[in-house]
Structure 1
Amino acid sequence: MSNNRIVTSPSERVQALSDSFKDVLSLGQRYVDLLDQLAQTKDAKNLLSATNKLAKLDLANAFIDFPPHYKAADYYLIFMDRLLKMHGDTAVNVAENELNHEFEATVAAIGSEAVFKFEVDSRGEAAFTEQSQHESLFYLSLEDKLMQFNNRALVNYFIVYALKQHTDLELRDAVKPLIDFAKYLQKDLDFTIDLGILATANDRRFMLNKPELPLTVIDRLFVATADEDYMLMNLPRNNGAELLLDQGTKLDIAFDPDDYSQEWAFLVKDSDEQVSFFDVLLHYDLVREWYLANRSALAVRTDHMEIVDEEPPATTEVAEDESLDEASSAEPSEDPAPDEEE
């Protein structure tokens, strides 16, 4: 016989309502304490703890409707805003939308027309998503301390779309606070971060989504440089080519001849290690036009830092370039090869 007994008598129902009020009052006090911690703490670890707990807090009650409250996506955005402000970074503005009472962010360098929100999935992974084009620029898991940029979305939004409305310098300034946010996560909270094509280290290889590259694609770059001031040269070991840009910046499209896989990749080299592959696409028309025209072959891969389930469902093998597609929207119509890049 089941131990569960239906509450039917008046006294039992009154007691159940009383117990429910007690639960709600206790939960409400916990909620208020966490809100205060989120809003007031000056310690990054306490900020992270409060955000994690708020995002998981279940305020549902069978008897009592809890007062209006924010959602997990709002707490993520408040967390981002507070961590930036702790470092004196005011380039991102977070405010509550008076119509739907959700928090949204804008970036000073590109104005208020570009609106960003976090979109949180069932596993607690949040995607920082631009709302008009619905491109998820980076993914964040507070519980697993992971943060990763989405190469495909960075190209789709900034290089394909936003560059039509803004200058390259404005877009560089728009990306900077996002990079800084990642570095604060790493420095203050020991996050594992992946800047993707925003990384500037000279030894960072930006692997292509497809391991093999038709040499005709490089030939097209040779043709494109014929009437330009930039020089394209074959590498000494016949493993690719190097484009000499201005100010000592070099762009290689090559494979490692000592690696049996011989997977193709981009490398960006400059004396101060301040230039990323994203910067090259943003500032150099020649490279950008060649890249976008041949994006099906040149798309840069994102090896998504998955949060692995203990018992993953049995599925058929999925192509490597679909690992981020489900979190991103459909590509803009200008994208020459939307399905090849992550």
Structure 2
Amino acid sequence: MSNNRIVTSPSERVQALSDSFKDVLSLGQRYVDLLDQLAQTKDAKNLLSATNKLAKLDLANVFIDFPPHYKAADYYLIFMDRLLKMHGDTAVNVAENELNHEFEATVAAIGSEAVFKFEVDSRGEAAFTEQSQHEPLFYLSLEDKLMQFNNRALVNYFIVYALKQHTDLELRDAVKPLIDFAKYLQKDLDFTIDLGILATANDRRFMLNKPELPLTVIDRLFVATADEDYMLMNLPRNNGAELLLDQGTKLDIAFDPDDYSQEWAFLVKDSDEQISFFDVLLHYDLVREWYLANRSALAVRTDHMEIVDEESQATAEMAEAESPEEASSTESSEDSTSNEEE
């Protein structure tokens, strides 16, 4: 006999309601326990576990409606707030909006007018998004333990928009807790992170979205430096140019002459490895104006990070072994769709 038969008799209806109450009480207790864990734990791993479970928890029930409760986006923001505060970082303020009962974040350095929320898609990937300009500054997947900044959004929001209302130092301080959050994820929870144009390592290459660069774009930078104190020089192997900024900082726009692809990229070099390409755009008017005027050619791409499971990887390796040319063509197609223009 099927277990899915329609419940019709009074006793069966009562029993169904009783069973539903039992399920709800059990689910409610689990929900409360997870909320307590989210709010009270001092362990980053327990914090991550509670957030993941709450974001996936389905409170729907045929007979009983749960009281108003938070959404996945709220749990993500609470997670961010708690992880920052575990490290004594109070630069980001998270509070509940009394009108819609959703959590919102503001950053002390740029005031309360800039409001940020997480926007979560069906895959569970959350975008930390500024609400007036709708720019997703970074993407976060708690389940896959990935965090990646969006280069295009960083430029659109901070360099193009916010710099009209704030100083470069205020914006530098606004970005700092976001970078710190990424580093806490990496250190405490073994996340894979990509700081994008916020990275400061001297060997970090910020690849252009378009592999080829018209040399006239570099010529325009030569012209722009004519009346400035900065010097632009050709690189020794004729593979680009180097702009000498102050305090020993250098900005290269170049390709690797030993790489057959000869794709163009920016490199920022300083003795302490504390300056990112974002910092250069933020602090140096000359570079910023040249970059934005030629953005269609100079845009830095964002390579979307993805987790490849072992089964998919094994299948790909088998396909490559059987048909190298076909596999190469497929990879090229996937690369073209996974790159996002800055």
Q: TM-score, normalised by structure 2?
A: 0.91
| TM-superposition CA deviations, 1:64-86 (whole Å, max 9, x none) | 00111000000000000000000
RMSD: 6.5
Q: What are the Cα deviations for residues 251-297 of structure 1, in whole angstroms up to 9, with x where unaligned?
A: 00000000000000000000000000000000000000000000000
- Is 315-324 or 60-69 further displaced after alignment? 315-324
* Deviation for aligned residue 1:329: 30
Q: What is the aligned residue count?
A: 342
Contact preservation (8 Å) 1:136, 1:328: no
Q: Contact conserved, 2:319 with 2:327, CA < 8 A, in 1?
A: no
How far apart, CA to CA, are the structure 1 residues paired with 2:262 and 2:11?
76
| 3-state SS in 2 of match to 1:7 | coil
State percent identity of aligned pairs. Answer: 95
Q: Does the aligned pair in 1 maintain the 2:301–2:339 contact within 8 Å?
A: no
| Residues 335/14 of structure 1: CA separation in 2 closer, same or farther (3 Å cut) | closer
Q: What are the within-5 Å matches in structure 2 for residues 160-179 of structure 1? A: 160-179=160-179
Change (3 A) 1:164 1:316: farther
Alpha-carbon distance between aligned partners in 2 of 1:12 and 1:176, rounded to the nearest angstrom: 60
Contact 1:205 1:267 in 2 (8 A): yes
- What whole-Å deviation, never above 9, does each CA across 1:157-210 have from its counterpart, x for those lacking one? 000000000000000000000000000000000000000000000000000000
CA gap of 1:142–1:337, structure 2 versus 1, over 3 A, is: closer
**1:315 CA displacement:** 20
In 2, Cα distance between equivalents of 1:28 and 1:180: 35
What residue ranges of structure 2 are gaps of 5+ in the alignment? none
Instruction: Tell me which protein shows more helix as a share of its residues.
Output: 2
Unaligned runs of 5+ in 1: none
CA contact (8 A) 2:302 2:340 kept: no
- The CA distance in 1 between the partners of 2:323 and 2:286, in whole Å, is 30
Deviation at 1:341, TM superposition (A): 2.5
Stretches (4+) displaced over 6 A: 308-340
Q: 1:281 to 1:248 in 2, by over 3 A?
A: same
Residue in 2 that maps onto 1:92: 92
CA distance in 1, matches of 2:71, 2:78: 11
Cα distance in 2 for partners of 1:177, 1:24 equals 39
TM-score (norm 1): 0.91
Compute the displacement of 1:306 (Å): 3.1
Cα displacement (A) at 1:211: 0.3
Could you list the per-position Cα deviations for residues 125-167 of structure 1 after superposition, in whole angstroms to 9, with x for gaps in the alignment?
Answer: 0000000000000000000000000000000000000000000
Please report how far the alpha carbon of residue 4 of structure 1 lies from its aligned counterpart in structure 2 after TM superposition: 1.8
Which of 153-162 and 312-321 deviates more? Answer: 312-321
Structure 2: how far apart are the matches of 1:242 and 1:306?
Answer: 33
* 1:309/1:177 CA distance change after superposition, 3 Å: same
Structure 1 position 38, deviation (Å):
0.2
Match of 2:69 in 1: 69
